[in-house]
Amino acid sequence: MSSLSKKVLEGDVRSASRLMRNIDDGAESATQDLRALFPKTGRAYIIGITGSPGAGKSTLTDRLIAAFRKQGKKVGVIAVDPTSPFTGGAILGDRIRMQDHATDPGVFIRSLATRGNLGGLSRATGDCIRVMDAMGQDVILVETVGVGQDEIDIAQMAHTTLVVTVPGMGDDIQAIKAGILEVADVFVVNKADLDGADRTVRELRMMLELRHAVKAPPMDHDAHHRMVRAKAEGRHEETAPAPQEWEPPILKVVAAKDQGVDALVKAVEDHQAFLDKTGQRKEKERARAAMQFVALLRERLLRSALERLERERGRLDEVAGRIADRQADPYALAEELASQLRE
Ligand SMILES: Nc1nc2c(ncn2[C@@H]2O[C@H](COP(=O)(O)OP(=O)(O)OP(=O)(O)O)[C@@H](O)[C@H]2O)c(=O)[nH]1
Ligand SMILES: [Mg+2]
């Protein structure tokens, strides 16, 4: 094991920062370090915080840091910001409202941004989560903006995902419908000091109920007969126990005034207990492992295929030019590269 990995395991902040920079630079040594650390990871509890721009995610994250610090836990924070230019892992100044914790050795905050490489953002986020996990952070908060595919991938890395909305944003609810609903474990209606918070809560609840109605399986023929017979005989027949399902709570919070944060922490703890009790934590972790492994594989395979393409046919943009001019056949080229990888 390299001395850098050793130091990360000892919780050394500067070494962890260096490793994260190496990961971003795609340094060969970073892969070796990640391999060395991997067996020591899997301990941290990961909380995703997602929602539209300006919903108050960072303010809320700041409050959650304080709450977990009070419990004596070490906290890691990853702010994923696909819109900002790469910052080398530095804190994004005023965009992140967590300066209070900047000097607390029990808090480690990094930001991550895309550099336009092939779906690398969720991979980089996963790697950074593992570094923080290995260095001993008990809780890792991952803040992401919006509801794109990257955000959904990232949300799937979390044990508990918080979706943050604010009052009076009909469009927001539409956006939630579009994809994030399935990954939400807890809904936060932040800025509940503003008008319309109760209405937003009602709208969210309606959406959840609708989803429920759609998902409830119809009773099978036999079960129906059993129930009818049982009723006729004056018995109460227990229907088969429904698979354990988590009901995402909807909580009103005023992050700016630290109101409702204790209830939110409680909801996260309840969800954690639910996952443990039902065995769903393991299930989630397995799904995440599959996703991350496939992402890793895709990245590696794509890289070798593109390297080969460049060696044999020219750079991607040249080849793309020929394809656009109908001088090259993309189907044949893709098949050829893929079959070479199969050897
Ligand atoms: N009225 C009110 N304002 C709030 C509350 N929480 C946060 N804000 C304000 O909302 C604005 C955005 O807060 P941020 O925490 O930066 O929101 P964000 O979701 O992290 O924003 P991005 O990361 O830029 O997407 C700031 O001006 C906050 O002070 C709240 O509970 N009530
Ligand atoms: Mg923010």
pLDDT of 90: 41
82 versus 140: which is more confidently predicted? Answer: 140
User: Please, what is the average pLDDT of the chain?
Assistant: 84
List, in sequence order, the alpha helices (H) in the chain.
3-9, 13-25, 28-37, 57-70, 120-134, 149-155, 170-177, 197-215, 221-232, 261-278, 280-313, 316-324, 330-342
Atom of ligand 1 nearest to the CA of 51: 19
Stretch 177-200: mean pLDDT:
87
Cβ(256) – ligand 1 distance below 6 Å: yes
CA atoms of 268 and 163, how far apart (whole Å)? 12
Cβ(56) – ligand 1 distance below 6 Å: yes
Sort 283 into a burial class: Cβ within 10 Å, 0-12 / 13-18 / 19+. Answer: exposed
List, in sequence order, the alpha helices (H) in 189-279.
197-215, 221-232, 261-278
For residue 132 the two structure tokens come to 């923080």
Give the burial string for 199-224 (b: 16+ CB within 10 Å, else e). ebbebbeebbeeeeeeeeeeeeeeee
Stretch 70-87: mean pLDDT:
78
Atom of ligand 1 nearest to the CA of 194: 1
Cβ(195) – ligand 1 distance below 6 Å: no
* Most confidently modeled range among 80-84, 115-119, 142-146, 282-286: 282-286
Distance 272 CA to ligand 2 centre (A): 24
Residues with CB under 5 A from ligand 2 (ion): 57-58
**Ligand 1: which residue has its CA nearest to atom 25?**
53
- To the nearest whole percent, how much of the chain has pLDDT over 90? 52
pLDDT of 172: 59
274 versus 94: which is more confidently predicted? Answer: 274
User: What would the pLDDT profile of 205-258 be if each residue is shown by its tens digit?
Assistant: 888 888 777 665 555 666 666 666 766 676 665 555 556 789 999 999 999 999
Least confident of 66-80, 182-196, 218-232, 312-326: 218-232
Stretch 39-68: mean pLDDT:
93
